[in-house]
Amino acid sequence: MQPAEKSKGCPLTPLVALLTGPWTLHIIWTLSTQGPTRFGVLKRQVEGISSKVLTERLRMLEEAKVIYRDYKPTIPPQVTYRLTERGEDLHIVMTQLNTIAHKWYN
């Protein structure tokens, strides 16, 4: 069971389920600070992540309308990810987390 499967009533649940997924915040943070980024670059920036999980997470974020996937069928193909307006909402939250992190650990 996913923890988030419970408490269907709370509107926070699906959002929390998304954000607490592995690497998710890291990916969003990278996209928000680096701007639109290609798959390969993203994989290098989010150090330690596997292709499988990165793809998986990007799909979930795309489905949640947090990121856009821009696919150019060139050879070789070129796929760029960038935050949507929803992604920017989350960026604001992460900026606050960043502020808190500094407050706590400095």
CA within 13 Å, CB half, 37: 21
Among 20, 51, 55, 78, indicate the residue that binds a second copy (CB under 8 A). 20
CB 92 → DNA: shortest distance, Å? 25
Integer CA distances (angstroms), 17 to 58, 60, 103, in order: 14, 11, 26
| Alpha-helical segments (H) within 35-84 | 39-45, 51-63
Of 61, 104, 65, nearest to 96 (Cα)? Answer: 104
- 61 near a second copy (CB under 8 A): no
Binding positions for DNA, rule: CB under 7 A: 1-3, 21-22, 38-41, 48-53, 55-56, 58-59, 69, 76-80
- 52 near a second copy (CB under 8 A): no
Binding site for a second copy (CB under 8 A): 1, 3, 5-7, 11-12, 14-16, 19-26, 29, 47-49, 65, 86, 89-90, 92-94, 96-98, 100-106
